[in-house]
Amino acid sequence: MASNLTSHPDVFHPELQLWVRRKELADEINTTHENGQYIPGALIPTNVIANTELSSVLEDADVVIVGVPHQYITDAMITAIKDAKRERCNADADTDAESSTVHVVSLAKGIYLDEDVDQEGSSSLTRVSERLHQSLNNSHNVDNSHNEVFVISVLMGANVYDQMGRDEFAEATLGCPTKDPVVFKVFNDIDRLNVSMTDDVAGVEFCAVLKNVVALGVGFAVGQDLGSNTKAAIIRRGFKETIKFAKTFGENVNQDTFFESAGIADLMTTCFSGRGQRLAAAFVKNNGEVPWGELEKQVLGGHQIPDWHNVQMVYKFLDAKQSRHLFPFFTTVYEIGFAKASPAQIVEVLKR
């Protein structure tokens, strides 16, 4: 992405501003152009400028990429995005509608559950893009004199970060409600990252969340030393329930989305080489006695992943909707991981 900015100087500013929490990491990136903890050996382009001051990173930004885990998207971050937008508009009274639009692209794979359930069992899920849209495009933020608008997109797909750090080829799906060509150009680099674009934001996002549930199921099989036949059966069943879930609880989900990189390709990559699968295998090897958070420290070196959180959210939503029986595979993954069901149940559910 950083190289795309320098390749299109007529469209983009040449620097990519990157917000990081720790000053020592910012110094490492800016001096050695590496991130030794997360992508050791990978060179970060010199036009990536790390900064611990979020307001400075957001200054004059037309495209904001949100890459923190969904549980860490705080109200303070959302406020900072709004404040940067407002300050730019206040500084330039001649800003027109097109140039005042800020595109916010979420990489976060997660959902939020509204746990206020009525007598009919009604509950709702909020996707990350929906939360960003609701928070950024509220009545207190829109200034009609400047036509302030935040367009929320998502970028998901089969692109494991360490392989991308080695400049290996990967793909992604950009879910953009306006299918904006400038946002597409930010990411699409045919040599290394081939991006397709759709306006099906919900479909792209549901695939990214639900693949985590399937990956834990595969991990439960790996932890029992089961082979490729079983893993393939788990992926097939999980893919079917993914499609059913997205179409049941999402609006205007496009069937084609399931066969883009964000769909079947990301599902396969996550199930065979994802961290959630490794974590679930370790969970079984430890007889379910080690908490998931502790396993993250032991297996992933402290890296925090959304996989097991998403399993819980999906189950709680299905339970509130009284729909667990419609999604037996998703339900079984939860019961193994959080309700002390035997890992052997991951095979038994395939027989139903």
- Please report, as a single letter, which amino acid is at residue 22: R
Query: pLDDT, tens digit, for every residue of 94-116?
Result: 555 445 789 999 999 999 987 66
Give the chain's domain count. Answer: 2
Q: What is the per-residue pLDDT across 114-147, written as a single tens digit (0 to 9) for each?
A: 766 555 555 688 999 999 999 998 744 544 444 4
**Residue 351 a catalytic site member:** no
The last residue of one of the domains, among 201, 233, 262, is: 201
Per residue in 20-34, pLDDT (tens digit) is 999 999 999 999 999
Whole-model pTM? 0.89
Spot the catalytic one: 85, 109, 211, 231. 211
- Return the closest-CA partner of residue 251 out of 197, 209, 201, 211: 201
Q: Which of 107-116, 121-130, 221-230, 297-306 has the highest mean pLDDT?
A: 221-230
Band of pLDDT at residue 7, cut at 50, 70 and 90: confident
Indicate if 193 and 333 belong to the same structural domain: no
Lowest mean pLDDT segment, chosen from 60-64, 111-115, 270-274: 111-115
Q: Looking at residues 302-331, what average pLDDT do you find?
A: 94
Say which CATH number the domain at 229 has. 1.10.1040.10
pLDDT at position 158 over 70 = yes
List the domain range (segments joined by +) for residue 190: 2-201
pLDDT at 329: 98
| Domain termination site, one of 183, 201, 219 | 201
Are 55 and 14 in a shared domain? yes
Residues 39, 22 within the same domain: yes
Mean pLDDT score, 62-79: 89
> Do residues 262 and 131 both lie within one domain?
no
Mean pLDDT (whole number) for 332-348: 98
- Domain with residue 99: its CATH number is 3.40.50.720
